[in-house]
Amino acid sequence: MRTYKSLSQVERAFRCLKGIFDLLVRPIRHRTKNRVPAHFFLCLLAYYVQWHMRRALAPILFEDEELPEDRKTRDPILPAKPSESVKLKKNTHQTADGLPVHSFDTLMAELATRGRVTYRLKSEDLSLTFKQLPELTPIQARAYELLGLLPVAGN
């Protein structure tokens, strides 16, 4: 019964791969035989990275971070029940740390707002270059921490 219920995860993964909204790598019309397997590999790789990111970022997403462990122990015939932590996140829209809870898409949009800008000023006798990088917001800092990324310095 557990194996049969895990089929929904596989179906969700294929829906994600076939859809045009989840991974944003489709549709592409290929003209050569070698490009089709390469495109398929890139789609699977993109899904794999997204899957790992969702698992790592579960504490700040509207996802149940206890679900993988609960699936191993709960009765497979009874309907699934959300954990207390996910109920709390859905009711308060905040994590245990007091940060706002995001969907995966809104979190990616929040992370995309951070970018390094390089300024180059040139005159006849002077050339000046400097870089600017905004400070991390609390949610960006937590996401970097969960993903195991070092914050990028502005230098």
Q: Which amino acid is at 154?
A: G
Average pLDDT over residues 12-19: 70
Q: Using the predicted structure, report yes or no on whether residue 155 has a pLDDT greater than 50.
A: no
State pLDDT tens for residues 77-96: 888 788 888 888 889 999 88
Question: Which percentage of the chain shows pLDDT scores above 90?
Answer: 22
Per-residue H/E/C for the chain: CHHHHHHHHHHHHHHHHHCCCCCCCCCCCCCCCCHHHHHHHHHHHHHHHHHHHHHHCHHHECCCCCHHHHHHHCCCCCCCCCCHHHHHHHHHCECCCCCECECHHHHHHHHCCCCCEEEEEECCCCEEEEEECCCCCHHHHHHHHHHCCCCCCCC
Q: Using the predicted structure, report yes or no on whether residue 97 has a pLDDT greater than 70.
A: yes
Q: Using the predicted structure, report yes or no on whether residue 67 has a pLDDT greater than 70.
A: yes
Average pLDDT over residues 91-110: 91
State pLDDT tens for residues 46-57: 888 888 999 999
* Predicted TM-score of the model (pTM): 0.73
Instruction: Return mean pLDDT, the chain.
Output: 82
Q: Are 54 and 104 in contact (CB under 8 A)?
A: yes
